[in-house]
Chains A and B, each alone.
Chain A
């Protein structure tokens, strides 16, 4: 019974914590520019993250190692430095984008520019971590995050053509703006397959003392939670496809256009719901990424870590998230556009996936860590094919995107 409750909570937290600035921005841009056509990228990405999250929970439950611990142990410090450095830098970019997301919610709510919100938002994120209460508020933030289900309601209310939707789950070639199409495909993959998500999940499983009796619970949480999350992202894309072009918007390049996603359907309350969704989703993501950053570094160097530890008990761990939040606030204060930063860091994430995921796949097939619970061959091949696709698309289109002026 206890475990059933844990599973339900786990599912709720995955659903409530799924949406963040990356999935909102990339889905909105894709829907406005190409209708439902890029839905396949979301489907592929969601399949991939379901499998990866399941793997990371299974890995932690069986090996009692977090992924960062195991990566250093298995491949040695010198190799570990590579995924460590890349992930730390990307985490900083994405953290900055999420802080920007909360700041945007502040701007939409008050009219005061998002630059002014960056520092207060950073302080809130830092305080929640510093007080050592993350374990307590984590579930609360995730429960509040269920407000993002309003995107699903809006999508259904708009009455999309379901046959059209299903057809878009299969990849197809673009009729116009080829470079933009593939760049958005890469960004969607990067936004959906967020490394921080499954790395964070493995640390949580260790903190909750998972063992092999949790394998079915893990499968349920990963499968159901991430599927629902994917549905929320897909709904965002559907809404964008149905409301943006009729308003004359084919290119979502200005963040002021984002609230349209819900205001077109719900009017004034749509704005309120959009602000609440954006603020909660991005705040939750910012907390997770800042913590993930500290987990990663502390686990890599063998320091004490834990989301409920007071700073005095884990000084170096606390130092990492403190510095990360400070650094991430800077670009927002300087006026970097949160929307541009988001989409760009999502594409970069897609490009970096081989570095973080390939070593992880090796670990998942190493009997010394996962005993008889290794991956199936199909899972291995599917994951590698999807991240290879994301990598190729990102490498090929990021330069085009930069030269065309974003």
Chain B
């Protein structure tokens, strides 16, 4: 397996095939002299912004601090052992509703969309 080729930037879906973002980054762990192993995949704007540049990261962190939910201040991490399948999508053994990744979309739905007549 090739991390950059087969994991990063792939679609992540939960155990019900609901979309929960992309693999924005991976966390590697080093144990002594052994080759690094993947311990987490990261989903979140901060990780993504870090890849673009330092300033972009600072900007996104600021946005999150001001408007983000308390649980969304750090990128969301999924432990590697939760990964069930790597195919067209990466399926993880979680329920997206129990994670913070869609907090802002839920806010949008509850505070804005539901208040627009006809939705």
| A386 shortest CB reach to chain B, Å | 29
Q: Is the interface of B mostly helix, strand, loop or mixed?
A: mixed
Nearest chain A residue, comparing its CB with the CB of B20: A302
Q: C-beta contact mask, A19-55 vs B, less than 8 Å → 1, else 0? A: 0000000000000000000000000000000000000
CA distance A176 to B116 in the complex (A): 56
Interface residues of B in 13-70 (CB under 8 A from A): 18-22, 24, 43, 48, 51-52
Q: Is the interface of A mostly helix, strand, loop or mixed?
A: helix
A304 on the interface (CB 8 Å rule)?
A: yes
A392 on the interface (CB 8 Å rule)?
A: no
Of B4, B21, B51, B116, which is within 8 A of A302 by CB?
B21
B119 touches A311 (CB 8 A): yes
Q: C-beta contact mask, B4-16 vs A, less than 8 Å → 1, else 0? A: 1000111110000
B1 on the interface (CB 8 Å rule)?
A: no
Nearest chain A residue, comparing its CB with the CB of B48: A77
A81 touches B109 (CB 8 A): no
Q: Give the residues in chain A near B86, CB-CB below 8 Å.
A: none
Task: Select the residue from A73, A130, A319 with max chain B CB neighbours within 10 A.
Answer: A73
A288 on the interface (CB 8 Å rule)?
A: no
A303 on the interface (CB 8 Å rule)?
A: yes
Interface residues of A in 281-319 (CB under 8 A from B): 301-305, 310-312, 315-316, 318-319
Of B48, B51, B108, B118, which is within 8 A of A130 by CB?
B118
B114 touches A72 (CB 8 A): no
A73 touches B119 (CB 8 A): no
With A64-B88, A77-B9, A302-B11 as given contacts, are A311 and B21 in contact (CB-CB < 8 Å)? no
A76 on the interface (CB 8 Å rule)?
A: yes
Of A63, A78, A127, A303, which is within 8 A of B105 by CB?
A303
B18 touches A319 (CB 8 A): no
CA distance A301 to B113 in the complex (A): 20
Of B8, B18, B51, B108, which is within 8 A of A315 by CB?
B108
Of A64, A73, A131, A311, which is within 8 A of B9 by CB?
A73
| A299 shortest CB reach to chain B, Å | 8
Q: Give the residues in chain A near B19, CB-CB below 8 Å.
A: 302-305
Q: Give the residues in chain B near A316, CB-CB below 8 Å.
A: 104-105, 108
- Which A residues contact B (CB, under 8 angstroms)? 63-65, 69, 72-73, 76-78, 80-81, 127, 130-131, 301-305, 310-312, 315-316, 318-319
A-B contact pairs, 21 of them (CB 8 A): A64-B88, A65-B88, A73-B9, A76-B51, A78-B51, A130-B119, A301-B22, A302-B11, A302-B12, A302-B20, A302-B43, A303-B21, A304-B18, A310-B119, A312-B109, A312-B114, A315-B106, A315-B108, A316-B104, A318-B113, A319-B108
